[in-house]
Structure 1
């Protein structure tokens, strides 16, 4: 892999590589890791790249789980360590930077669970937390970057003596002013050069002895240090000098300790930088909804799902899927200008480069090959100083590519052969692509040339695709359409831009005259492919509508079932309540009967007892059975109809004139007079009209939707459960991951609405725990 400055410039110009790394570096906590991100380059060291991607994966999970590692306040301390090793005394601010770094190391060493984040934990375990040096600096230096007054016992003593001396000197000054106020210009003391003075009238400047430190601007007064102040002033300054010397000694001692620990601190700095770089990648990949790529060495197959260029606004950008099958070496993209061809090339190219630099990629799924070398030719690189035209500039780079290409080469070429005669340019483009294919290189290219598209359609190993263009609005949709070559729409766009119809018609005639039979057939094929694709999209839309209607029908069915269940429960509750009231009234009457002795009272209560239950027969009741007609004798096990309730069931118990009937799973006590015998209905099992073939045995028992958005995950779940019903699956597993919990909640909500689901629950510890759901189908 090239790793020179020219290759770096090529990456920056062709893929905006530096701008993308700047964005990722913005997620770093300090300048050291930000610089490492900005300096990253694609490499061929497989072990290094895999380690970087594994760390980024753990960092993504760490961040997704809501955890964080505090690195706030730390800086790049390497220059400070070098100064300490050379014996240069560090300032208190520099010592504070070392302390903040040591504190971050101490916290980082305990931040990662070895079971969940083994690689990050392994790095953190290698950190050497120097708690003694950390405590020593903390005891001496405050968080404001100044030395603490109690940094040492000597400093405490000196500060106390200084405070006392200043207080004594101030008292002496107040006394002097009070006694000599007529000779003073101001009745207060002042400080000149750190020594206490008074402002004396000019004629009295020698009156008090001592030293004269200067005069006022008018010359009418002088700043005098009286002889009475000299000794005390000198003592104060002596104490101040001793304090500064003690501070210097403290900083010198701490600097020596930092210098002795410099090797360990430099090692810790590298480790902290490595961890913070991984955490920055993890935060970035979550923000761009990206993925950690998988790199394979089997063949040249490539797959990117829902990929978006990282510099585009993800809310507005159109995501696309790109792939190359194992035997396909060239992905050729056609379509009109400004349709998104170059952005497509850059999107695939930056995913390849980021992956081999150890970074996540902006896609939902990424499977990429290893490449030993990379070449990029995008944009116009005219050079006035080197007298190179656009065509010459392209050919210079392509000649370098062709000379060094081989198996494991990745080339991204925009408009090969552009900038010269179209026929010669197209012929040259085909020759270059054929040569690169013969050498085993993988090539992504774009073209306008019909001859190149015709060759690509006929050549093995070439996938000709296009960027969709709306023929009605003449606007690009930026959607990538696989295996469909796109037209240029040059005449339509020219007409839209106001070119006269006569000119466009003349151009069409000339095109028809000069176009070869192959070109005409190619254009006809492009139109046919476009028609078929629109029909496929319409068909897919109809299937989606059918799924939606089926789900709505299932929801309505479930609602009706719940309504029926509610009505049954309300009916049973009302019936039980009514029967309980009648039983209570009967008990009261029976208790009254036991206490009555008079015949007429007994007859009245017996009449009340016989009348119980007749009130509900008053409306719509059938006439009583005549004496000549014998009532039907019911037995346990008879199948009966409950008159007035429009239901039927089996008698399970008979007591006196009441029977307990099991109807629709509900036990109901009713009077025998309310029952009619009926024949037990025969329930026929429906015949199975479908067949089960060998496909059922191959139906997957689990669905993995980790990394999908909620809408995509539910679409995949809907399709999978439909297939599960068709294949008579009984138990399946849905793998959705833990993450933020949104996808899991959406899956459970969807399952709760399905009539085909018997039950669902979180998987056991060995089956994925909260990251998976076990579903049992009816």
Structure 2
């Protein structure tokens, strides 16, 4: 069915639009592969999930799917006895953490279906702890993941320190034979740069030549044993890391069904919230699928693929006794868009998706059939008419009383009289069979048939005859004219042709048709008046809304002014208190103040004390030690100080100044002290293992180097790389001098050719 849906009503393009709201690949794929279902219970379940998600979002709540990724391939690897990489194991743990958070959140909500899905998930806490205890946030196995690995890294550092000490002694002793007084690393082995004439003097191995060709990188014989020991320890480290990954992969394999089940559930949840976000952002709703009733209602329907700013909303409805909706009107007037909108919303509802309506009632259909567009086939030698008839024949043969059939321009593409007669007979057959039919037509005979049949609702799309432009408004109960002559005249067709065409039309037109057109014109005039009154009512409602908003605005402004007044009053009281304190200090200073000045000062203090007493009397019910709740905030705490109209509240370890009129005394809650966990939660941290100083001045670079080394020592990093470049050598020399003075630097050496050569320095720290 999907290819037909995509071609007929752009079903796939709408799914892509909804898929943009999904959080990870599994839910995107599930949305894009959706299709109308036959199982009514499954349809209703999907709609109910989306409805609960919409209700949560509209309350200001939402579920985070951060960390959700498709871990199915990694989990399946473990089932085949394959070993996951540390990064893959970290992704599985991150996914399970996301499952845990999602479950905890949904269990606190008042939903039903979403809570059921949450309860079905198992976050595998033991697996999360195992992975997080051994793998850091960068996706690497931690140095202290096991006791053995920790000891191997310690041995590696100690061996390197011993080797570096031996290298310093060797360089000092044989400086005349060396090109530079530093060591470097070649293929993981510590070496020195020796002049070519002395390269065989020290035994050992010659690894490579310098770029100038004047020297060679030599590993002296005294370095070989320690280099071999380092290589051996590194090999043992790799083996231990491999063992750790294998152990964790086996744990994943033991939980594979649970993890894959969690992935499926998280996919369902993300799909539900994607539907909800799409519907809320575009003002849609969850359709009601009716099993017994056969009426349809799409209130203020809007096509999702049309720009919301340009889209005209329309209401489409069919009563219980009506089986067919017939839409007429001129070409390019919006008939096909109307058909596609109704067909799309029926298909979306049966696939469990929201629709862009204010309200939607849709009957349950066991099959959906579409015949829209030009389906002519060169391969099968089918013309437009032949392809349409072929499709309609298939529909008539397989449809049931619970089928939905959408036909565009039925009977078109052949002789008008024969086409109209065929269209009438097809519609009669489908109506008698009990199908719900949505169709469009240009034929006057077909429109007359619809007018005379109580089971057919004839409607049209409006066309402005003054501007010769479609309005895209749906008019129920009125069949639309084709406006062929008016449109032809607008395109400057010869007048004599148009006059002759009118004569031919009048000769062939029956009296019944003339009376029908007059009736339609009267109905159209009534609808125009009705639409005008509707707009006037909408304008009145809009004015009422604006007046209400203006009232709220002024009420808020008045409230802000009162708060500002209270703030200013409090500030004035504090100033007066300071003045009183200053007066008292002056009185205590000595006898040089005259008696009338003392009396005046005492009178001012008395006035200030009266003001303070009046202010405090307003809040006599609150005192220090009371437990209160802050108005409009979900916060509460203990009063630790009261001054004027403000109280100092201790809330969750933080002090807040709040006006007393915003406080309400409440009962102090019972606080239970949580038990301390025996095991610490793993802390993930990131620290760069190299510092780039290229482009900095010497002073700036040295300051940056000192800060970096302090951080490296704080993070207990044992080895870092300093990138300073070659240049004039000033920055490099300054770096080396600074490293020699630093108390935490054990040794330094030039980097190997693959690590920057003389443009970088490897530093070992205590």
Q: How does 1:364-443 map to 2 (within 5 A)?
A: 364-443=358-437
1:329–1:461 contact (8 Å) kept in structure 2: yes
- SS for the counterpart of 1:109 is helix
Please give the alpha-carbon distance, in whole angstroms, between the structure 1 residues aligned to 2:407 and 2:535. Answer: 36
One of 318, 332, 343 as aligned partner of 2:337? 343
Q: How does 1:254-653 map to 2 (within 5 A)?
A: 254-540=248-534
**CA offsets per residue over residues 386-420 of structure 1, 9 Å max, x none?**
22211111111111001112200101111111111
Unaligned runs of 5+ in 1: 1-6, 556-778
Q: Does 1 or 2 have the higher relative contact order (CA < 8 Å, sep 6+)?
A: 2
One of 52, 57, 67 as aligned partner of 1:58? 52
Query: Does residue 123 of the first structure (1) align with residue 114 of the second (2)?
Result: no
Q: Deviation of residue 304 (structure 1)?
A: 0.8
Please give the alpha-carbon distance, in whole angstroms, between the structure 2 residues aligned to 1:152 and 1:554. Answer: 68
2:107–2:119 contact (8 Å) kept in structure 1: no
Residue 149 of structure 1: aligned partner: 143
Q: How does 1:220-259 map to 2 (within 5 A)?
A: 220-259=214-253
**CA offsets per residue over residues 474-523 of structure 1, 9 Å max, x none?**
11111110001111111111222222323222222222222333333332
- SS for the counterpart of 1:323 is strand
Residue 651 of structure 2: aligned partner: none
Please give the alpha-carbon distance, in whole angstroms, between the structure 2 residues aligned to 1:545 and 1:231. Answer: 93
- SS for the counterpart of 2:472 is strand
Choose 1 or 2 for highest CA Rg: 1
Unaligned runs of 5+ in 2: 550-766
Residue 111 of structure 1: aligned partner: 105
TM-score with structure 2 setting the length: 0.69
* Worse overlay, 200-209 or 112-121: 112-121
2:107–2:118 contact (8 Å) kept in structure 1: no
Count of residue pairs the alignment pairs up: 549
Please give the alpha-carbon distance, in whole angstroms, between the structure 1 residues aligned to 2:545 and 2:424. Answer: 52
1:415–1:446 contact (8 Å) kept in structure 2: yes
Change (3 A) 1:428 1:317: same
Please give the alpha-carbon distance, in whole angstroms, between the structure 2 residues aligned to 1:485 and 1:385. Answer: 38
- SS for the counterpart of 2:172 is helix
Please give the alpha-carbon distance, in whole angstroms, between the structure 1 residues aligned to 2:525 and 2:519. Answer: 10
Please give the alpha-carbon distance, in whole angstroms, between the structure 2 residues aligned to 1:549 and 1:347. Answer: 32
Q: Deviation of residue 537 (structure 1)?
A: 3.1
Change (3 A) 1:550 1:205: closer
1:487–1:526 contact (8 Å) kept in structure 2: no
Change (3 A) 1:135 1:443: same
Q: How does 1:66-81 map to 2 (within 5 A)?
A: 66-81=60-75
Change (3 A) 1:543 1:237: closer
Please give the alpha-carbon distance, in whole angstroms, between the structure 2 residues aligned to 1:554 and 1:254. Answer: 63
Residue 207 of structure 1: aligned partner: 201
Q: Deviation of residue 554 (structure 1)?
A: 13
Q: Deviation of residue 100 (structure 1)?
A: 1.1
Please give the alpha-carbon distance, in whole angstroms, between the structure 2 residues aligned to 1:218 and 1:123. Answer: 69
Please give the alpha-carbon distance, in whole angstroms, between the structure 2 residues aligned to 1:28 and 1:218. Answer: 58
- SS for the counterpart of 1:232 is helix
Change (3 A) 1:553 1:41: closer
Q: Deviation of residue 541 (structure 1)?
A: 5.5
**CA offsets per residue over residues 37-57 of structure 1, 9 Å max, x none?**
111111121111111111111
Please give the alpha-carbon distance, in whole angstroms, between the structure 2 residues aligned to 1:94 and 1:344. Answer: 50
Please give the alpha-carbon distance, in whole angstroms, between the structure 2 residues aligned to 1:39 and 1:122. Answer: 24
Q: Deviation of residue 186 (structure 1)?
A: 3.1
**CA offsets per residue over residues 623-644 of structure 1, 9 Å max, x none?**
xxxxxxxxxxxxxxxxxxxxxx
One of 182, 193, 206 as aligned partner of 1:188? 182
Change (3 A) 1:442 1:198: same
Q: Deviation of residue 110 (structure 1)?
A: 1.2
Please give the alpha-carbon distance, in whole angstroms, between the structure 2 residues aligned to 1:188 and 1:334. Answer: 91
Change (3 A) 1:288 1:543: closer
Please give the alpha-carbon distance, in whole angstroms, between the structure 2 residues aligned to 1:336 and 1:297. Answer: 36
Query: Does residue 44 of the first structure (1) align with residue 38 of the second (2)?
Result: yes
2:50–2:272 contact (8 Å) kept in structure 1: yes
Q: Deviation of residue 547 (structure 1)?
A: 8.6
Please give the alpha-carbon distance, in whole angstroms, between the structure 2 residues aligned to 1:548 and 1:278. Answer: 34
Please give the alpha-carbon distance, in whole angstroms, between the structure 1 residues aligned to 2:197 and 2:544. Answer: 111
- SS for the counterpart of 2:299 is strand
Change (3 A) 1:505 1:191: same
Please give the alpha-carbon distance, in whole angstroms, between the structure 2 residues aligned to 1:507 and 1:271. Answer: 66
Please give the alpha-carbon distance, in whole angstroms, between the structure 2 residues aligned to 1:114 and 1:121. Answer: 8
- SS for the counterpart of 1:102 is helix
**CA offsets per residue over residues 281-335 of structure 1, 9 Å max, x none?**
1111111111111111223210110111111122221111110100101100001
Q: Deviation of residue 552 (structure 1)?
A: 12
Please give the alpha-carbon distance, in whole angstroms, between the structure 2 residues aligned to 1:212 and 1:519. Answer: 106
Residue 179 of structure 1: aligned partner: 173
1:169–1:229 contact (8 Å) kept in structure 2: yes
Please give the alpha-carbon distance, in whole angstroms, between the structure 2 residues aligned to 1:237 and 1:81. Answer: 33
- SS for the counterpart of 2:104 is coil
Q: Deviation of residue 450 (structure 1)?
A: 0.8
Q: Deviation of residue 168 (structure 1)?
A: 2.1
TM-score with structure 1 setting the length: 0.68
- SS for the counterpart of 2:493 is coil
Q: Deviation of residue 266 (structure 1)?
A: 1.3
Please give the alpha-carbon distance, in whole angstroms, between the structure 2 residues aligned to 1:220 and 1:511. Answer: 104
Residue 565 of structure 1: aligned partner: none
